[in-house]
Structure 1
Amino acid sequence: MEALYLLVPMSVAVVFFTIWLFFNASDGGQFDDLVGPGMRILQDDDRIDADDTPGRPEKAAPAAEHVGVALPK
């Protein structure tokens, strides 16, 4: 029975903290656009950046070393 004196106020505090966290995220705009990020994944991105031009082995070496693949020199 003495455990209830501790558990009930703790559970009420957790509920109020969760409600505060939800409303804080809602006011901050967390739930404004739920569809946009999912639709952005489906769009094609065919741009070629200037750093990704073919024929530049100095750009390929750091990426290969990062993965752990040894390139022949």
Structure 2
Amino acid sequence: MNCRPLAFLISLPFALIASVLSIIGAVVFVIGIVLSCICPCCICCALLSNLAVVLVKLPVDVVLWFIDFIPC
């Protein structure tokens, strides 16, 4: 990241949007965990939790993608 400050600055608005999606992902994760405790045989709860984990990791992935995308 030493030679790519422009990529970091360009990625910030997208990371903000991804952060909002991350908060939504955290809520979905909690709902998925509660549903899987109520009905452990339901596979859709596991899929819902996996989707939520991807949403929670999204802000970091967006920033890293922008940093790797723009050359020095």
Fold in common (TM above 0.5):
no
More contact order relative to length (CA 8 Å, sep ≥ 6): 2
- TM-score (ref. length: structure 2): 0.36
Name the structure with the higher helix share.
Answer: 2
Structure with higher Rg: it is 1
- TM-score (ref. length: structure 1): 0.35
